[in-house]
Amino acid sequence: MNAAIDAVTSTAEATGASEILILPSNCGVTITVSAEQVFSQIAPFHEIFRRGGVAMRLVELEQGKLTLDVVKPEAFRSLLEKFGKLMVWRVDEAGGRKLVPTLCPEQTATALLACEKIELLPPVRGIVASPVLANVNGTPQVFGKGYHPENGGLLVTGGTMPPDLPIDEAVTALRLLVDDFDFKTPGDRSRALASIITPGLCSGRWIADSVPADVAEADQSQSGKTYRQKIIFALYAEEPRRIAIKDGGVGGTDESVSQAMLSGSPFIQIDNVRGKFDSQFIEMTMTAGGMVGVRVPYKGEVQIDARHFHFFLTSNGVETTRDLSNRSSIIRIRKRPGFAFRAFPEGDLLAHVHALQPYFLGAVFAVIRAWGVAGCPRTNETRHDFRLWAGALDWIVQNILREAPLLDGHAEAQERVSNPALTWLRFVALAVGDEQRMGQELSASAIAEICAEHEIDLPGKHQDDDESRRKQIGVLMKRALGNDAVARVDGYKIERREVEKYSEAESRYRTVKTYVVSLETA
């Protein structure tokens, strides 16, 4: 121990004070020496933490929600008083030194928070609202409320310990959460189940690698895409950080995501995405596989663990970059007109999950335990960029949940969301269905009218006249179908035909392209 800190300890004993924090002065106590004593004394209380070289603490927002917040110098001044009596060395009348009570100046608070000795504070990688089933050297261990350095500095802020469930009961409970949704394919259902289990695997560090974004897509509004994600949030007793789509620059989407990550909450939701979604920051975060830099006001960039976070997007027809589609788990559902989710004593399914949250969390834990007992096996699934995640969840959904292979039908969805022409063609097929014109031969002009009626934008269109629209539809169809006569998009078949039609203006027959939309049969 530094001699100056030893002097503080002996002085505390001599004065009978239980705790003394000695601040820097020009009487032999440097900023570094003071910071070492101050942070060493604060650390065991687990009230102020270190994250990327920045001091942070838990604060309560509205409705009891907890978040991590940067400790600012003006707040640190009074926070110090919770942990001891503030003293400082001064020169006495005889030219010697004496300890006197003091207040912490803001300049001193700033200097202490900027000192490298902040590393003495306990590190925190994030917060979760309910218990975690952690992988402790290959052995499952449940962590309840409190700070857990053995799990990378995870802070569990509450929750009830979940029950131990037999695996068959756990599988039945988790299937209940997806049974009422009309998934596009069995693979979509499997990915929905995987999305329920993935946060539990990550928070417990069973998977210490990148995981994809949950991209919920529906054919129509009010189909349940956001509702499905709400069930996941409820199971983990989390309230997501919701991000509104904004233009770039200050206050842009990436900056909002950065601030959401700084708060430490694991779930970040970008709801109701319309048109193209392009975020290089989110793409980088999901592939970081470790630390990523986020901006902190007045502090510059802070490095935090990106593996703590899960991204959720919802859309009725998202268009993304190829990179983002490769980092996504796309889960498609169809609307059931007039359908109502089953009722429970508490109300709907979401209310049921809220009421029995520890039970459903226990179901997730049971599945993870079963996978752990089996030796954490993985399949050789290679159809996703995140192969560790894909292999693990593919094994779990097939061998424990007894569902379809994880990535069946996924490549088609990835191709479509990253191809503007195919995304547009999907909207056209849905609109043709709404117009009850399936099986009809439609000209480019007819399709242009349908697009106008349903407010479907034409990608790449610059001029807004009939001829320009017709030409652009021909371009889009060429891009979507290529040299083939048929394209298949999300269960729809779009066929290009060439027919001979008589032109009154030209007094002759001419070859005209038409397009027929129909439901694809098995």
Domain span including residue 11: 3-123
Q: What is the pLDDT of residue 278?
A: 78
Q: Quick one: 68 and 186 in the same domain?
A: no
Q: Quick one: 201 and 316 in the same domain?
A: yes
The answer to whether 244 and 361 are in contact (CB under 8 A) is no
Q: Quick one: 400 and 437 in the same domain?
A: no
Return d(Cα 380, Cα 158) in angstroms, integer.
38
Helix runs in 80-138, H state only: 106-113
Q: Quick one: 318 and 405 in the same domain?
A: yes
Is residue 220 assigned to a domain? yes
Q: Quick one: 412 and 428 in the same domain?
A: no
The answer to whether 397 and 190 are in contact (CB under 8 A) is yes
Q: Quick one: 205 and 346 in the same domain?
A: yes
Is residue 485 assigned to a domain? yes
CATH number at residue 279: 3.40.50.300
| Geometric angle at alpha carbon 90, from 84 and 94, rounded to 5° | 135
Q: What is the pLDDT of residue 117?
A: 96
Q: Quick one: 406 and 507 in the same domain?
A: no
pLDDT digit string (tens) for 224-274?
Answer: 889 999 999 999 999 999 987 755 443 478 888 888 888 888 999 998 787
The CA-based diameter of the chain, rounded to the nearest angstrom, is 117
pLDDT tens-digit profile, the chain (522 residues): 344 334 433 443 443 335 899 999 988 899 999 999 999 999 999 999 999 889 999 888 776 778 899 999 999 999 999 999 999 999 888 878 899 999 999 999 999 999 999 999 999 999 999 999 999 988 999 999 999 998 889 999 999 999 999 999 999 999 999 999 999 999 999 999 999 999 999 999 999 888 999 999 887 777 788 999 999 999 999 999 998 775 544 347 888 888 888 888 899 999 878 777 878 888 888 877 778 888 766 667 888 888 899 999 988 777 777 888 888 999 999 888 777 889 999 999 999 999 999 999 999 999 999 999 999 999 999 888 899 999 999 999 999 999 999 999 898 888 888 788 888 898 899 999 999 999 999 999 999 999 999 888 888 766 778 888 888 999 999 988 888 888 888 888 999 998 887 777 777 778 889 999 998 875
Q: Quick one: 236 and 374 in the same domain?
A: yes
Return d(Cα 267, Cα 233) in angstroms, integer.
8
Record the pTM.
0.83
Is residue 142 assigned to a domain? no
Q: Which one of 371, 395, 417 terminates a domain?
A: 417
Return d(Cα 226, Cα 305) in angstroms, integer.
26
* Tokens coding 384: 């996703």
Is residue 174 assigned to a domain? yes
Is residue 149 assigned to a domain? no
Q: Which one of 392, 417, 442 terminates a domain?
A: 417
- Kind and range of the H or E run holding 142: strand 139-143
Residue 126, classified by CB atoms within 10 Å of its CB into exposed (0-12), middle (13-18) or buried (19+), is: buried
Q: Which one of 368, 389, 417 terminates a domain?
A: 417
DSSP letters of 168-208?
Answer: HHHHHHHHHTTTTSEESSHHHHHHHHHHHHHHHHHHTTSS-
Is residue 464 assigned to a domain? yes
Phi, psi values for residue 85, rounded to 5°? -85, 125
Q: Quick one: 413 and 427 in the same domain?
A: no
Return d(Cα 391, Cα 446) in angstroms, integer.
46
Q: Quick one: 322 and 208 in the same domain?
A: yes
Is residue 150 assigned to a domain? no
Q: Quick one: 390 and 401 in the same domain?
A: yes
Q: What is the pLDDT of residue 394?
A: 97
How many structural domains comprise the chain? 3
Does residue 169 sit in helix, strand or coil?
Answer: helix
Is residue 134 assigned to a domain? no
Cβ neighbors of 128 (< 8 A, separation 6 or more) are 154, 155, 156, 157, 203, 236, 238, 266
Q: What is the pLDDT of residue 298?
A: 60
Cβ neighbors of 252 (< 8 A, separation 6 or more) are 246
Q: What is the pLDDT of residue 8?
A: 37
Q: Quick one: 181 and 322 in the same domain?
A: yes
Return d(Cα 47, Cα 58) in angstroms, integer.
7
Return d(Cα 278, Cα 518) in angstroms, integer.
31
Q: What is the pLDDT of residue 48?
A: 95
Helix runs in 334-417, H state only: 349-355, 357-373, 387-399, 410-417
Cβ neighbour number for residue 201 with a 10 Å cutoff: 24
